[in-house]
């Protein structure tokens, strides 16, 4: 199975939402952080994603959003 691990650089940051969008901006998958959390790392199963480029967004409890590119081969 294919997995992606996300880990905030600031361990005090609380992630409120994790989402994956396709390159056109369509929501593909939303993750509940408390379910995918493993300590301060978040493990996402992505084996159901087709090959391509995706955007992973993380939103903190304070509302700050970060976007990361994910390439699935």
Per-position b or e across 23-54, b if 16+ CB within 10 A of its CB: eeeeeeeebebeebeeeeebebebeebeeeeb
The per-residue pLDDT for range 13-30, each reduced to its tens digit, is 889 999 999 999 999 999
Per domain, the residue ranges of the chain are 3-72
For domain 3-72, say whether CATH 2.60.40.1930 is its number: yes
* pLDDT above 70 for 1: no
Stated pTM of the model: 0.86
């Amino acid at each position: 199975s294919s997995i992606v691990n996300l880990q905030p650089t600031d361990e005090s940051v609380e992630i409120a939402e994790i989402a994956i969008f396709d390159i056109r901006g369509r929501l593909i998958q939303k993750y509940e952080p408390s379910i995918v959390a493993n300590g301060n790392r978040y493990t996402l199963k992505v084996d159901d994603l087709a090959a391509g480029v995706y955007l992973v967004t993380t939103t903190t409890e304070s509302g700050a959003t970060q976007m990361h590119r994910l390439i699935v081969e």
